[in-house]
Structure 1
Amino acid sequence: MPKPVVGESARRRRRPTKNGVVLSEGLIVRTALRMLREHGPAGLTVRRLGIALGADPSTLYRYFRGVDDLTLAIGDMLVGQAMAGWSGGGDWRAGLRDLGLRIHAAYLEHPQAAVLTASRISGKSHEIAADEAILGLLRGAGFPDREAVGVYHTFIDMTLAFAALDAATLALPAEAREADEEIWRATYARLPRATHPNIAAVAPLLVARMNDSAYPAALEMLLDSAASRLTRPRPAPRTARGGGRDRPDKGV
């Protein structure tokens, strides 16, 4: 059974570790991020983390229930990095674009951590603050609640999906990544028009674009679609007959 997690003030180590630092959640998460960058997910263990911090590995269980709980905290820290300095004021579209690009960039800055955390839901403070801010932008722009949730859902899933995809590419060994990138030039660009007329017609464009992330373009498509839904005319509520008075039908 995992050990109970107590409050930050109660569990803070009073004496410095062997490395001369005082343990905290933030320090542990930052150290874990560094270990992921240097050794990948397989290198992140409680034992190795304890060694890196100069602390007994069992001490970490006073801060996190285990490696999975630490993983969720890592994902939440990435969202917090994306949110730092973001105001979200003004135009909803500009605010959403800026936040999406910030989240995508924060995950790509730590590709090993992104692969590990992009598919997770932490329920922690930074994640909740981001969700509240996104929904606030959309509802403040005039999206009905159902559509606001739909745009939010699409936006956040698309952003994290691209973050995971692009981070997985960056996490590849350099040789493998360079070999994949070269395929567009070495294979696709040389396919004959007689057998592959469509690929041959656009081969230079494929070579120029396909090694770059499609996220910015996909984000603009999503924003265009959302904007069109916001401005389209909405039918007036229908009324039901009977009972001596009009009664609005339930919304869709």
Structure 2
Amino acid sequence: MQGRVPVERRRRRPTKTGTVLTEELIVDCALRLAGEHGPDALSVRRLGAALGCDPSALYRYFHDTDDLLLAVADRIIGETMDGFAPEGDWLAGLRAMAHRVYAGYSRHPRIAAMAAYRVTRRAHEFRAVETGVGLMLRGGFDKATAVRHYAAFIDTVLGHAALDAAHLALAPERRGADTRAWTDAYQSLPADTHPQLAAVREELPLMAHSSFETALELFLEALEARAAAQ
């Protein structure tokens, strides 16, 4: 089932604890539960228990848990884009937008990987795409190129955001083991079997750090060069 729940189905009724259910309240609860327990917490049973209501009451606001996930994803986009109105240099605007998106998903590492690849078709996403495509058009690209470049830009940013958020969400011992691999396991590889890695052995610990900033600057430099070549 697709689309939003009709307004007439979203009548406000108090829960057992006297709280009046709203879409915003449900999304607040879903974000909190997902932050504490991961995306598996987004079940009507858990949400109903947390909100003090019959789980079936949630269907007056969302068709199913996937519909709720899209609302949660759109809330993250809304937090990310709040107050953002880039003016002037289009590249500076894209850089600022990228940092906002990355930071926004980093604040919700337990849900970021699931939320980052969905198309919410809701108000906050509409505004974000409007802003991003507008920045590409401001760079002088034709309409088709602006859309293609924006898609590549936001996928790059979201990919790094989801990857780094997933790493943050790992249990500390697993995250630590991954980080230590570059100073332990990789350092012991012999030069006769791995000559290229041996040649850069001292620099390999850099692999433990996020490549988001490097990827972003490479992408923006490429965009600038393409814009100048038009």
Aligned residues: CA RMSD: 2.0
Query: Which residue of the partner structure matches residue 12 of structure 2?
Result: 13
Spell out the pairing of 1:156-171 with structure 2 (5 A cutoff): 156-171=154-169
Contact 2:9 2:61 (C-alpha < 8 Å) held by counterparts: no
Relative to 1, partners in 2 of residues 1:120 and 1:56: Cα closer, same or farther, differing over 3 Å?
same
1:42 matched to 2:40? The reply is yes
TM-score (norm. length: structure 1):
0.85
The CA distance in 2 between the partners of 1:210 and 1:33, in whole Å, is 31
Q: Distance in 2 between matches of 1:227 and 1:33?
A: 37
The corresponding residue for 2:112 is 114
What secondary structure, in the 3-state scheme, does the structure 2 residue paired with 1:146 have? Answer: helix
- Structure 2 counterpart SS, 1:205: helix
In 2, Cα distance between equivalents of 1:215 and 1:52: 36
- Inter-CA distance 51–3: structure 2 relative to 1 (3 Å threshold): farther
Post-superposition Cα deviations, 1:53-73, rounded to whole Å, max 9, x if no partner, equal 111111111110010000011
Cα distance change, pair 191–5 in 1 and its aligned pair in 2 (3 A)? same
- Displacement, 1:92? 0.7
1:159-238 mapped onto 2 (5 Å cutoff): 159-207=157-205, 209-232=206-229, 234=230
The gaps in structure 2 that reach 5 residues or longer are none
Between 46-55 and 34-43, report the one with greater CA deviation: 34-43
The one-letter amino acid paired with 1:215 is F
Contact 1:2 1:66 in 2 (8 A): no
d(CA) in 2 for partners of 1:116 and 1:4?
20
Q: Which runs of 5+ in 1 are unaligned?
A: 235-252
Give 1 or 2 for the bigger CA radius of gyration.
1
Kindly provide the amino acid, as one letter, of the partner of residue 11 in structure 1: R
Alignment match, 2:72: 74
Residues in 2 aligned to 1:165 and 1:109: alpha-carbon distance in whole angstroms: 13
How far apart are residue 43 of structure 1 and its match? 2.4
CA distance in 2, matches of 1:114, 1:225: 27
Hey, what does 1:244 align to over in structure 2? none
**Percent of pairs identical after alignment?**
47
Verify the 8 A CA contact 1:4 1:62 in the aligned structure 2: no
The TM-score normalised by the length of structure 2 is 0.92
8 Å CA contact 2:190–2:198 kept in 1: the answer is yes
In the alignment, does 2:142 pair up with 1:144?
yes
* Equivalent position to 1:58, from 18, 37, 56: 56
CA contact (8 A) 1:41 1:113 kept: yes
